[in-house]
Amino acid sequence: QVQLQQWGAGLLKPSETLSLNCGVYGGSFSGHYWTWIRQPPGKGLEWIGEINHGGSTNYNPSLKSRVTISVDTSKNQFSLRLSSLTAADTAVYYCARGLIDSTGYPRLDYWGQGTLVTVSS
Partner 1 sequence: VLTQSPGTLSLSPGERATLSCRASQSVSSSYLVWYQQKPGQAPRLLIYGASSRATGIPDRFSGSGSGTDFTLTISRLEPEDFAVYYCQHYGSSPLFGPGTKVDIK
Contacts with partner 1, residue ranges (CB under 8 A): 44-47, 50, 58, 60-61, 94, 96, 98, 103-109, 111-114
Shortest Cβ 121–partner 1 spacing (Å): 27
**Inter-CA distances, 54 with 32, 34, 74, 82, Å:** 10, 11, 12, 21
Our CB check for partner 1 shows the closer of 61 and 121 to be 61
Shortest Cβ 36–partner 1 spacing (Å): 11
Minimal CA–CA distance to 22: which of 9, 8, 33, 10?
8
> ∠29-95-3 over CA atoms, to 5°?
55
Shortest Cβ 58–partner 1 spacing (Å): 7
Shortest Cβ 96–partner 1 spacing (Å): 8
**Distance from C-alpha of 50 to C-alpha of 70, rounded to nearest angstrom:** 9
